Structure 1
Amino acid sequence: MAWLQLRIDITPDQIERFEEFLLAFGAHAVTLEDRKNQPLFEPTPDYTPFWDHTRLTALFDADTDMEPLLEQLRSALGYDSLPRHQVEILEDKDWVREWMSHFEPTRFGQQLWVCPSWKPVPDPDAVNLMLDPGLAFGTGTHPTTALCLEWLDGQPLRGQQVVDYGCGSGILGIAALLLGAERVTGVDYDPQALEASADNLQRNQLPADAMALYLPGDTPELSADLVIANILAGPLQQLYPTLDGLLKPGGRIALSGILVEQAPSLLETYSASFDMEPPRVKGDWVLLYGRKRG
């Protein structure tokens, strides 16, 4: 069956009331997205930020009479007129299969491939990372993850102790293991991310003890050879003492999830204890990396 999709442009203070009323009026689902390309810092567990310019999308049955529903919504919210909005017919699709069909094997650097677990590998002799991201961030398709994977592919990782901070799907930590790292510690605020990392570790036929997974408050003291953190600029500023403390002298750090204009501030912060290299750039995003002074 087809659906009707109501898209309406609102501000953060309007979200709760619009969502409440639309669900009460029969919406099957309500989703939110950014309509101005505004980056958000990774939130703490007790805080959910929203974009200044938010687009709300509500999904209704195809036979819903939208004109009286919109009038009822306007009246219930007490507005003279609703914010800018439009109603569209949305064809029925299996959206999971639609996304899966567009996730293709991709090479990063000289030897590393990230391959959807449901598709054949293009080069059996390469380093093939089999991935099913589940509910966690990280497939390699975003420039921030791609920058990290390309950088890892060129690093000497044999026998190294690595920390993947903000591990998401586990893609970076598992890539490090497949490229020769001895052991990885994965850290993430989201328990679903830790579950996805564990599943992908098993999917790549790696030993369960090759990657230890922790919530931030449970992370043990470490003296790692390499820390990689693909998060966002705000948390990376706040995490400087933490990430610095996880590395031994001479250890390497790589930071991603950073917009070009955010790089100078982070370079200044991390240069206090790291010899930082020139950034690597991909579109609007950069990777910062360096070595801890001893």
Structure 2
Amino acid sequence: MPWIQLTVSSDEAHARQLGDVLMANGAQAVTYRDGKDAPIFEPGPGEVQLWDHTLVTGLFDAELNTSAMVKRLEQVKYLGKGFQYKTDQLEDKDWEREWMDNFKPIQFASNLWVVPSWHQAPDPDAANILLDPGMAFGTGTHPTTALCLEWLARQDLQGKTVVDFGCGSGILGIAALKLGAARCVGIDIDRQALIATKENAQRNDVAERFEVYLPSEQPSLAADIVVANVLAGPLQELAPVILGYVGKAGLLCMSGVLSRQADDVMNAYRPAVQFAEVEQRDDWIMLNGQRVSG
């Protein structure tokens, strides 16, 4: 089926409203893009942050009457006549196949792979995490997740208890269990993340060893290893909570931190944690260390 994209320039204050207007007028999907290459880092809890200059794109059936749509949009108060827009025709493709073809098995260490469900595992004897790509909770393609996976692959996890704080898809906890950990406890504020974690744990045959909890339900335990791939703000604010999971001489691995935020995050955990050398990929870093006090 052929499609038309209608892209409208908006300011941050009205971008979401404009997206709703496009959906109300028949858009099958709406996306938001930065119009000026101005990056956004770490929105606050519950905040949906967009760019000062945002490009809002609606995907429509190719039979869309573009002129009529523009006239309707001109009636929107914050747009008015003469608003900036562009249209693009999209080639009719098998978009599901196109999407799937872009994702291949990814190797994170000699013994650790993430494998989409439509591929065979390249190394059947490795720790293979069966996980399909998705936008919501992470599948290893982002540098922060990759750094944590590579770190886990270097650890002796045999028989260990692991806490996956902010578990998302459960990828880090599943990796730990596949690499020999005896038990993993996943914690996340999002119930949908907990559902995704349980489903992924079942797919990977580790569900019996992977428990999940909301923060209000989280158990007390002293883990051998704690991994937390969230953001710098929560890592600092929740330092007492996260430290509470790190057992005596336990290991802590944290990511979701920009290089300029490293000192602030580490200071929130000192002197209880002695940190190793910072590891960096692109603008993101991974912090890891061992509990030495407290």
> What is the TM-score normalised by the length of structure 1?
0.91
1:212-227 to 2 correspondences below 5 Å: 212-227=211-226
Looking at structure 2, the residues matched to 200 and 141 of structure 1 have their Cα atoms a distance apart, in angstroms, of 17
Matched position secondary structure for 2:159: coil
CA distance in 2, matches of 1:16, 1:271: 41
- Counterpart secondary structure, 1:128: strand
Consecutive unaligned residues of structure 1, counting only runs of 5 or more, are none
Does the 8 Å contact 1:163/1:185 carry over to 2? yes
Aligned residue identity for 1:158: Q
1:228 equivalent to 2:227? Answer yes
Partner in structure 1 of residue 258 of structure 2: 259
Q: Could you list the runs of 5+ residues in structure 2 that have no partner in the other structure?
A: none
What displacement does 1:78 show? 4.6
1:133-157 Cα distance to aligned partner (Å, 9 max, x none): 5564221111111101100000111
Asked if 1:50 is matched to 2:49, the reply is yes
Counterparts of 1:234-245 in structure 2, within 5 Å, are 234-245=233-244
Alignment-derived partner of residue 293 in structure 1: 292
Matching of residue 115 in structure 1 with residue 87 in structure 2: no
Give the 3-state SS of the residue equivalent to 1:289 in structure 2.
strand
Q: Kindly provide the amino acid, as one letter, of the partner of residue 13 in structure 1.
A: A
The aligned runs of 1:13-52 (5 Å cut-off) are 13-35=13-35, 36=37, 38-41=39-42, 44=45, 47-52=46-51
Partners of 1:285 and 1:255 in 2: how far apart?
A: 11
CA distance in structure 2 between the aligned counterparts of 1:192 and 1:97, rounded to whole angstroms: 26
Contact 1:135 1:193 in 2 (8 A): no
- Please give the alpha-carbon distance, in whole angstroms, between the structure 2 residues aligned to 1:124 and 1:78: 57
1:69 alignment partner, SS class: helix
Contact 2:74 2:83 in 1 (8 A): no
Shift of 1:52: 2.6
Check 1:43–1:96 CA distance in 2 against 1; reply closer, same or farther (3 A cut): farther
Task: Give the structure 2 partner of residue 102 of structure 1.
Answer: 102
Question: What SS is found at the alignment partner of 1:288?
Answer: strand
SS at match of 2:76: helix
Q: Could you tell me how far apart the structure 1 residues matched to 2:228 and 2:148 are?
A: 9
CA distance in 1, matches of 2:78, 2:247: 60
What residue identity is the alignment partner of 2:171?
A: I
Task: Provide Cα deviations, 1:239-267, integer angstroms capped at 9, x if missing partner.
Answer: 21110111112111111111222222212
Report the alpha carbon displacement of residue 158 of structure 1 after superposing the two structures with TM: 1.0
Q: Which stretch shows the higher mean deviation, 23-32 or 197-206?
A: 23-32
Give the match for residue 61 of structure 1.
Answer: 61
Q: 1:153-197: per-residue Cα shift (whole Å, max 9, x none)?
A: 001111111011111111100100011111000111222221221
68-77 vs 242-251, greater mean Cα deviation: 68-77
- CA positional deviation for 1:79: 3.8
- Within 5 Å, which residues of 2 pair with 1:152-231? 152-206=152-206, 208-231=207-230
Pair 1:244–1:143, CA change in 2 (3 A)? same
1:86 is matched with 86
Measure, in 2, the Cα distance between the counterparts of 1:58 and 1:272.
51
Q: SS of the counterpart of 1:123?
A: coil
Counting matched residue pairs gives 291
Give the CA RMSD over aligned residues.
Answer: 2.1
Aligned mates of 1:148, 1:78 — CA distance in 2: 44
Secondary structure of the 1:51 match is coil
Shifted more, 2-11 versus 241-250: the winner is: 2-11
Structure 2 CA distance for aligned equivalents of residues 132 and 283 of structure 1:
24
Letter in 2 for 1:138: G
Segment of structure 1 superposing worse, 216-225 or 63-72: 63-72
Q: Which secondary structure state, in structure 1, belongs to the residue aligned with residue 257 of structure 2?
A: strand
Name the SS for the 1:76 alignment partner. coil
Distance 1:102 1:16, change over 3 A: closer
1:71 alignment partner in structure 2: 71
Residue correspondence of structure 1 range 273-292 to structure 2 within 5 A: 273-292=272-291
- Residues 136 and 192, structure 1, Cα contact 8 Å, conserved in 2: no
> 1-side partners of 2:120 and 2:285: how far apart?
31
Local SS of the residue matching 2:262: helix
Describe the shift of the 1:240–1:178 C-alpha distance in structure 2 as closer, same or farther (beyond 3 A). Answer: same
Aligned residue identity for 1:111 = N
